[in-house]
């Protein structure tokens, strides 16, 4: 088990994050949603406690303890005072090392997940998210499916699947424990040894990702029909970059100007100037492999075509040389705002934990200011030209097809077709 320790002694509190470097990308074929169900099950009974007793103990100690999983990691998070640190870490160790996976709680969580998936079918943003990922990567790729799974995949998950996933991936040689707060390095090492010293190693084979075409042949507009929807959910983008990219800092500057802040071009145009939406933005999801670039907004239905025109205008405009004043403003915004992410022990623990799945050194955090400072206007234009090609975009719009299809076709921006929320073609009259 790797330890990462930060002494932060101003207050008698400690935050711990245990990061397992495996998430839903390791879901077996036909069992999408398994990693997140495993994480949800960890605190539903552990050691000698059932779910209720565990919740009562957490309340008695006045600690926060939670578990979760995402695409490329699973985690347990603890916030505790120094006085309750030993007891809190013992609970955390029980949850991670000794979950009981009771049948009753599994049935309840599975039922809740299926209900949530059913509700997603009436939520435009969720429909757009799912279709966009599937169209970019394909449903067989981990990046092309939701970490929550689908109805049939969740139906197929058994309690044995949960136990097998946990045994396979929750191993100390696949994990890092981050400890931040009122403790010394010696304290942290002793604490980790008491809590996790008997955790047994296991063989870990990183999941293999299917090959994905780098970009599509041309831009296309895909409507996901949500009859009588009052708004249209936009997802516009392409396959971007991995977290390891050498272009990280220029991309941060370029995207902050485009859609990464409240005063960005997209938000200013679509919200402040046009009044089409409450907010518009964009971002690069940088993962182990190349994640998506996505520009997004929830737009009043009657302005769907007009909003698309403005999106395309801004995506073309960002490829032009950035004015010196705007460049200086964006760099100042990023550099001065960076400290907000380190205000508390939990913030610091989260920042370090976010590096773990990508094997990035802790020095990455202190390199940010200088990295942003070195970005030039030429760098911004270069990455915009390289990674944002308006002629090769996937455009997904979840909305009322009856009212938006004809206006979208009239824009002549790209061919228009209809898909379901998994990105599959829909035959329409």
Does 181 share its domain with 225?
no
When divided into structural domains, the chain yields a total of 2
Does 109 share its domain with 243?
no
Distance CA 222, CA 404 (A): 11
Residue 202 lies in a domain: no
Q: Exposed/middle/buried for 302, CB within 10 Å: 0-12, 13-18, 19+?
A: middle
Residue 205 lies in a domain: no
Distance CA 212, CA 24 (A): 18
Count of C-beta atoms within a 10 Å radius of residue 255 = 26
Does 98 share its domain with 232?
no
What pLDDT was estimated at residue 236?
Answer: 98
Residue 314 lies in a domain: yes
What pLDDT was estimated at residue 215?
Answer: 58
Residue 399 lies in a domain: yes
Does 270 share its domain with 383?
yes
Diameter over CA atoms, the chain: 70
Does 257 share its domain with 375?
yes
Does 228 share its domain with 164?
no
Does 175 share its domain with 270?
no
Residue 203 lies in a domain: no
What pLDDT was estimated at residue 214?
Answer: 54
Backbone angles phi and psi of 120, in degrees to 5: -60, -30
Distance CA 349, CA 178 (A): 6
Q: Give the structural domain span for 403.
A: 220-419
Model's pTM, two decimal places?
0.94
Residue 45 lies in a domain: yes
Q: For the domain that residue 28 is a member of, what is the CATH number?
A: 3.30.830.10
Q: Exposed/middle/buried for 170, CB within 10 Å: 0-12, 13-18, 19+?
A: buried
Tens of pLDDT along the chain (429 residues)? 999 999 999 999 999 999 999 999 999 999 999 999 999 999 999 999 999 999 999 999 999 999 999 999 999 999 999 999 999 999 999 999 999 999 999 999 999 999 999 999 999 999 999 999 999 999 889 999 999 999 999 999 999 999 999 999 999 999 999 999 999 999 999 999 999 999 999 999 887 777 775 557 899 999 999 999 999 999 999 999 999 999 999 999 999 999 999 999 999 999 999 999 999 999 999 999 999 999 999 999 999 999 999 999 999 999 999 999 999 999 999 999 999 999 999 999 999 999 999 999 999 999 999 999 999 999 999 999 999 999 999 999 999 999 999 999 999 999 999 999 999 999 887
Does 190 share its domain with 227?
no
Does 32 share its domain with 175?
yes
What pLDDT was estimated at residue 428?
Answer: 82
Residue 324 lies in a domain: yes
Distance CA 136, CA 297 (A): 18
Does 242 share its domain with 108?
no
Q: Residue 73: which of 123, 24, 112 has the closest Cα?
A: 24
Does 187 share its domain with 231?
no
């Amino acid at each position: 088990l790797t330890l990462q320790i930060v002494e932060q002694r101003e207050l008698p509190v400690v935050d711990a994050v245990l990061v397992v470097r495996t998430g839903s990308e390791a879901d077996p074929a036909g069992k999408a949603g398994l990693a997140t169900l495993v994480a949800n099950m960890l605190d539903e009974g552990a050691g000698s406690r059932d779910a209720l007793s565990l919740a009562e103990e957490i309340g008695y100690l006045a600690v926060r303890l939670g578990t979760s999983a995402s695409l490329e990691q699973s985690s347990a998070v603890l916030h505790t005072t120094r006085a309750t640190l030993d007891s809190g870490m013992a609970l955390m160790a029980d949850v991670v090392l000794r979950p009981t996976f009771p049948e009753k709680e599994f049935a309840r969580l599975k039922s809740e997940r299926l209900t949530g998936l059913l509700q997603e079918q009436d939520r435009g943003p969720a429909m757009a998210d799912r279709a966009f990922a599937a169209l970019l990567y394909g449903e067989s790729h981990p990046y092309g499916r939701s970490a929550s799974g689908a109805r049939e995949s969740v139906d197929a998950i058994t309690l044995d699947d949960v136990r097998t996933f946990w045994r396979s991936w929750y191993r100390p040689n696949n994990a890092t424990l981050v400890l931040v707060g009122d403790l010394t390095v010696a304290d942290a090492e002793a604490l980790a040894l008491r809590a996790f010293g008997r955790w047994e190693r296991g063989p870990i084979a990183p999941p293999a990702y299917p090959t994905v075409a780098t970009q599509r042949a041309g831009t296309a507009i895909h409507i996901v029909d949500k009859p009588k929807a009052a708004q249209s959910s936009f997802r516009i983008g392409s396959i971007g970059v991995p977290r390891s990219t050498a272009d990280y800092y220029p991309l941060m500057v370029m995207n902050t100007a485009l859609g990464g802040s409240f005063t960005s071009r997209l938000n200013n145009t679509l919200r402040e100037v046009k009044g089409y939406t409450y907010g518009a933005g964009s971002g690069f999801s940088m993962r182990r492999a190349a994640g998506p670039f996505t520009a997004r907004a929830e737009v009043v239905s009657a302005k769907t075509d007009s909003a698309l025109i403005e999106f395309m205008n801004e995506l073309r405009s960002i490829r032009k040389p950035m004015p010196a004043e705007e460049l200086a403003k964006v760099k100042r915004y990023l550099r001065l705002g960076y400290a907000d992410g380190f205000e508390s022990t939990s913030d610091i623990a989260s920042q370090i934990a976010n590096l773990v799945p990508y094997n990035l050194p802790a020095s990455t955090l202190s390199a940010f200011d200088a990295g942003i400072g070195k970005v030039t206007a030429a760098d911004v234009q270069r990455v915009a030209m390289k990674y944002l090609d308006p002629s090769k975009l996937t455009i997904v719009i979840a909305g009322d097809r009856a009212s938006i299809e004809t206006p979208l076709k009239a824009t002549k921006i790209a061919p228009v077709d209809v898909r379901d929320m998994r990105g599959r073609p829909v035959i329409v009259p």
